[in-house]
Amino acid sequence: MLFMVRDMTADTLHLSQTAFIYGISPLYLIIIGATFLASMLISGMLKRRFSEYSQVPLPMTGAQVAEQMLRQNGINDVKVISVPGQLTDHYDPVKKTVNLSEPVYHINSVAAAAVAAHECGHAIQHKEAYAWLNFRSKMVPAVQISSKLLNYIMIAGFLGMGLMQSTTMLWLWVGLFAVTTLFSIVTLPVEFDASRRALVWLERSGLAASMEQEKAKNALFWAAMTYVAAAVGSVAQLLYFLMMVLGRRD
């Protein structure tokens, strides 16, 4: 989940390079700048909240929270493991592992509990065949192919091969970019639902009192905002590319 903070920033920098293919446009620079600024502000707020709520103790570590939540939801074939780094937490549906970063795995705090419960929310989605998660999983091969082709087209543009002078190639770019944009949009309900499941379980478990519950909710809110910013930025860029190709004449 939270590792998307880094990915969103990297994607913003990566996509900004496409300005050199199309020619620098003030509108495009505004879109890139706004997306980058939003990602930095949200990332900073998320890190501050995580640091703050890591100081609020709970009786259980993140790993213990994850184990208990999984078992209480009848999930016995998913392992909870520790992975290096900070904010690298995620659920792997292929290996069936809840991967918790070292600070989350070992620490007993509101922040750790919120993150661990969120990742378990994805495991529950997987078990229940949650429609949006299934849709996103099916999109992964198309997204991987689209991302590679976008990179190839961009490299060709850097090499001066003139591919982007063709309206057909521009339409291909828009189509491929639309796939990655759709993926970022589909990710939103998946992440929000996982957070909802996490908060419901935390409340029912009695693990956190009302004040701690609000802290957990706030931490998950800022984590979700990273996905919202990424999706909005991707949609804005797609619209820009679409307007450009519609106004293009061979």
Segment 15-44, tens digit of pLDDT? 444 443 445 578 878 888 888 898 899 888
**Structural domain boundaries in the chain:** 4-56+110-246
- Helices 26-53 and 210-246, axial angle in degrees (round to 10): 170
pLDDT band at 3 (very low <50, low <70, confident <90, very high): very low
| CB proximity list for 101: less than 8 A, separation 6 or greater | 2, 82, 83, 84, 85, 86, 87, 88, 89, 115
Q: What is the pLDDT of residue 166?
A: 74
SS3 at position 52: helix
Given a cut of 80, whether residue 139 has pLDDT beyond it is yes
Q: What is the pLDDT of residue 209?
A: 65
Give the active site residue among 52, 67, 102, 119: 119
State mean pLDDT over 236-246. 88
Reply yes or no on whether 67 is catalytic.
no
pTM > 0.85: no
